[in-house]
Amino acid sequence: LHHRRLQFGALAHIVLPNSNRQKASPGKFADAAIRYMLDSFQQRGIKSIGLTAKLIGGACMFGIEGPLQIGESNVRTITQILEAASVRIVGSDVGGTSGRRITFDCSTGRINIETIGQPQRTL
């Protein structure tokens, strides 16, 4: 999440789509992490309407097909929460079978993405 004018941002390494209301490690769960970040922005007087989002990740890391598409579920959950909060998604690099490493520059909102076997990409 990023607010361009204020040069303020936040990110989370989300592992699972649903926390089932578990309080520990909110950054690991899509539902809890996104709401936590939105609440943190709001506590600083930053409304969600001025935020943008970029989604990176959601790879199928273990080659599992079927109902255990956790990456896809994470992306779907995140997208639903952001849309409900009126946060525009302005870029994405999701899916595939390779992990990614990112760097996030809060002053510009740029995210550099390194994916094994692919050229570096900037969102």
- Structure confidence at residue 116 (pLDDT): 85
Average pLDDT over residues 69-90: 94
d(CA 103, CA 114): 9
pLDDT at 10 over 80: yes
Position with higher pLDDT, 105 vs 23: 105
The answer to whether 104 touches 98, Cβ cutoff 8 Å, is no
Domains and CATH numbers, the chain: 2-122 (3.30.1330.200)
Mean pLDDT (whole number) for 63-73: 73
Percent of the chain whose pLDDT exceeds 70: 93
Average pLDDT over residues 97-121: 94
Q: Could you give the dihedral angle defined by the CA atoms of residues 77, 83, 55 and 24, in that order, rounded to the nearest 10 degrees?
A: -50
Q: Tokens for 65? A: 């097909």
Q: What's residue 63's pLDDT?
A: 64
What was the pLDDT predicted at 71? 87
* pLDDT confidence tier of residue 117, bands split at 50, 70 and 90: confident
d(CA 66, CA 14): 20
Mean predicted confidence (pLDDT) in 44-55: 95
**Residue 61 · residue 99 · CB < 8 Å:** yes
Lowest mean pLDDT among 16-25, 65-74, 104-113: 65-74
Who contacts 2 (Cβ-Cβ below 8 Å, separation ≥6)?
Answer: 8, 9, 51, 52, 53, 54, 106, 109
| Residue 102: closest CA among 3, 51, 117, 110 | 110
Q: Global pTM? A: 0.88
Residue 67, pLDDT above cutoff 70: no
